[in-house]
Chains A and B, each alone.
Chain A
Amino acid sequence: MTAPTTETVVVPPSRISTGRLPKGSPWAILIGAMLVSFAIFAVLNAGSPLAELNVAGALFVGMVIYVVFIYVLSLIAESRRHATDRLMTALISTAFVIACLPLVSVLWTVVSNGLARMDPTFFSWSMRNVIGEGGGAVHAIWGTLIVTGLAAIISVPIGLMTSIYLVEYGNGNRLSKGITFFVDVMTGIPSIVAGLFIYSVFTIFFGPGIRMGVMGALALSVLMIPVVVRGSEEMLRIVPNELREASFALGVPKWLTIVKVVLPTSIAGITTSIMLAIARVIGETAPLLLTVGVTANLQLNAFETDNGQMMTLPVFVYNEFMYPSASSPDASLERAWAAALTLLLIVMLLNLVGRGISKFFAPKTSGR
């Protein structure tokens, strides 16, 4: 500790913030720009009701005003370089907002349109003998659960075992590199091609025009296996190697080490990746349209070869939209929206629960 100096420090005239805009100024300018823009649009909209106010247009014009204003202001007060910096900051932030708009819009339109038919009839009726209004999607909900469940039963063992091979046995040899590469490529296979593939296989054994629930499950598996593999592979890789070595040191065989040590440690993350994979394939439409087909009846047997069509929720949405009932097309669209809302709720639930599991049940990996 040095003794405090008695001389007064002369405050220098220039501080670090000299030549910069004040800290909060971008926000102030943004709010100002939005106010101006909404004022202009409100004046233009003066005669008509408030609901017709062009919010999207006002936000867009407000953003343009903001970008131009902050650029010019920064050009005057700061420098050309800082002006470019502020311009890019504004544009990059706008890009993020732009991406959020469709999400909000999709959620809003689906919820507001779908709520009309979220009634008991919708969840207890099929479309059998329904021509105009009424009817429900119980056959589609069952179909989706059965087909997706079967797909999960097929994909999870294969996907999990593959990821175990890649992490525990492969050791980066040529085969495991090849598998990793082709699994990655498989994630990009168009879903409709998976449907065509399964159809081509089954048509050889059962003749043309075959439709079965299990075909849809197989087509979904083609899409689901790579997602499960990559997800669980990542989870297995973050299991600390010390745990494996400790188990080996106690004389535990390798397969028991995997079953008793590696898998329990990573089970939360693996569950998450499986649920996210299910959430991804449960909304697939095209492969199911080709392999499972369309029906108005409740069909619970996925292995029925004769008239084995099953309805599924995504195909139900597609079908009600593309081929609405001639007498009351609005009723068809309402059913489509309600089914879309049901599907969206299932997917969001799977996502939230899946991510919640890995968050709350993740093993403590700290202390390393």
Chain B
Amino acid sequence: MSTTEKVPARQAPPEGSIKAKKRPGDLAFSGSSLGAGIIILIVLAATAVFLVVQSIPAIAGDPDANPILGGENFWSYALPFLFGTLWSALLALAIASPIAIGIALFISHYAPRRLAAVLGYIIDLLAAVPSVVFGLWGALFFSGFLQPFFATLTETIGTWPVLNLLFSGPVSATGRTILTAALVLSVMILPIMTAICREVFLQTPKLHEEAALALGATRWEMIRMAVLPFARGGMVSGAMLGLGRALGETMAVTMVLSGSPIVAFQLLQSGNPQSIAANIALHFPEAFDTGVNTLIATGLILFIVTFAVNAVARWIVNRRAEFSGAN
């Protein structure tokens, strides 16, 4: 639980008052703490600069001499991977959002108060599981577990109009499809989304809730009328932070999918789009020469997309309260 208390603003000393003596220890300490803060900004700027510098040979260079592009234009190489990244992340977001909001409501408004902290801790444990363990679980257990359901899905709603755009067969025999990857991703982004939603739900003014209840609202009506409108911004930014995590998550997609650079919306077939991060992880160890630059350039695209998503989400969340999902 994070309880942020604002440090009360210290009163500015009146004009011409005695100033504290500058001691060497003070100067060293304030200087080094300022330096540490600036290092962080430099690191972030350097990330952007170095990625851009390393990307130029891939984007501006000769595609024929590039071992990965092999004559193909960089943008036509990168676009399918960008599609795979966005598609898998959006699927994960669509699955995780209602569940995360449900969990957050359960912890903040339904569970007994004593239990709530324990339940929150259980959800935080999900965040502690390393991504590679999720990947192993998704590839070796979860995909096999889901495959029969997928087969049923393709036979039933896969034949319906409109829905067959997503669920049509032939079904993958291994179950290692983009939907499995999206499900694993959604489990991985649940904790951050839940944490943010829970935090904003708890900030709902108690008077609003009690007023709704006093007017005879049921608990759900109270939530719908008092809690959800208040928390709308927080829920949006929680979803965007989850989206940011899903966009950059590497291992779940790499280990679950055997993807290829295609643009396909089908969820259950054996041909699946690949994400940028998974493509980098798969090909980076063997890449050489300008091939490395090509992969770094796709990484730059990923960096820009996630940076934008995160920045907007943080901007929304910072308007309301000081809270981050960092712990």
Contacts and interface: CB of A to CB of B under 8 A. Distances in A.
A225 B3 CA distance: 21
B123 A99 contact: yes
Nearest to B85: A190
A200 B285 contact: no
Interface string B8-33: 11100000000010010110111011
Contacts of B177: none
A176 B281 CA distance: 35
A221 to B, nearest CB: 9
A321 B299 CA distance: 24
Contacts of A343: 130, 132-133
Interface stretch (A5-13, A45-53, A63-71, A181-189): A181-189
B232 interface: no
Contact of B98 (A95, A100, A172): A95
Interface of A is mostly: helix
The listed residue with most B CB atoms (<10 A of its CB), out of A56, A188, A209, is A188
Interface string A225-267: 1110111001001100100000000000111101100000000
Contacts of B310: 184-185, 187-189
The listed residue with most B CB atoms (<10 A of its CB), out of A98, A157, A160, A333, is A98
A152 interface: no
B251 A181 contact: no
A282 B302 contact: no
Given A89-B219, A189-B248, A273-B327, 11 more contacts: A96-B102, A110-B137, A176-B37, A190-B306, A191-B250, A229-B326, A230-B326, A253-B25, A258-B29, A318-B132, A344-B129
Interface of A: 56, 81-82, 84-85, 88-89, 91-96, 98-100, 102-103, 105-106, 109-110, 113, 157-162, 164-172, 175-176, 178-179, 181-194, 196-197, 199-201, 203, 208-209, 222, 225-227, 229-231, 234, 237-238, 241, 253-256, 258-259, 273, 276-277, 279-280, 282-286, 289-290, 293-294, 314, 317-318, 321-322, 333, 336-337, 340, 343-344, 347-348, 351, 355
Enumerate the 6 nearest inter-chain pairs by beta-carbon distance, A residue then B residue, closest first: A190-B248, A283-B130, A95-B102, A230-B326, A161-B36, A188-B310
Interface of B: 2-10, 20, 23, 25-26, 28-30, 32-37, 39-41, 43-44, 46-47, 50-51, 53-54, 98-99, 101-103, 105-107, 110-111, 119, 121-123, 125-137, 139-142, 145, 187, 190, 194, 218-221, 223, 241, 244-245, 247-251, 254-255, 277, 280-281, 284-285, 288-289, 292, 295-296, 299, 302-303, 306-307, 309-311, 313-315, 318, 324-327
10 contacts: A99-B187, A103-B129, A162-B36, A162-B40, A188-B310, A203-B54, A229-B40, A285-B132, A343-B132, A348-B128
